[in-house]
Amino acid sequence: MSATIPKGPDGSPSVTQLVSGIVGDVQDLGMQHLALFRNEIKEDIRKAADAGTSLAAGGAILQVGVFLLCLMLVHLLASLAPGLSIWMCYGIVGAVIVAAGGIGVFNGVTKLKSVETLSKQTSQVMKDDAKWLTTK
């Protein structure tokens, strides 16, 4: 047997029906806000992973480049400028390679800074919802 919810004398919904409808709508709104929050967190994690991948790739390339180019370019510079000592050649080549690698790391850090941990609008909506639910 199913219970029927009483209606008012004119056939309109009863107060119980209206209150339960409001409660259901508030629950739906809360679930939608949580879904939005989850989606924004997932997007932020994806952006952070992209930035981390760029940093890791840049770092690996930088290490290989520093090793190989230092050896090769130092000896090339030493053969082209016989007046320079070998340690000066290492210093010049190392400084150039570090500058190039620094540009790659700077790009990765810039990408990482663009990641927002939580949208301001979403956090404000969540705060408003929490305030509204606690003042009832």
What confidence tens digit (pLDDT) does each residue in 7-51 have? 656 667 778 888 888 888 888 888 888 888 888 888 889 999 999
Paired tokens of 127: 């705060």
Locus of tokens 């663009």: 114
pLDDT of residue 37: 86
d(CA 94, CA 73): 9
Q: Where are the domains of the chain?
A: 21-115
Query: What is the SS3 assignment for the chain?
Result: CCCCCCECCCCCECHHHHHHHHHHHHHHHHHHHHHHHHHHHHHHHHHHHHHHHHHHHHHHHHHHHHHHHHHHHHHHHHHHCCCCCHHHHHHHHHHHHHHHHHHHHHHHHHHHHCCCCCCHHHHHHHHHHHHHHHCC
Higher pLDDT, 121 or 39: 39
Kindly report whether the global pTM for this prediction surpasses the value 0.75: no
Q: Whose CA is closest to 126, among 57, 13, 54, 35?
A: 35
Percent of the chain with pLDDT over 70: 88
Q: Which residues touch 119 (CB under 8 Å, ≥6 apart)? A: 40
Rounded mean pLDDT of the chain? 82
Residue 1 scores a pLDDT above 50: no
Percent of the chain with pLDDT over 90: 22
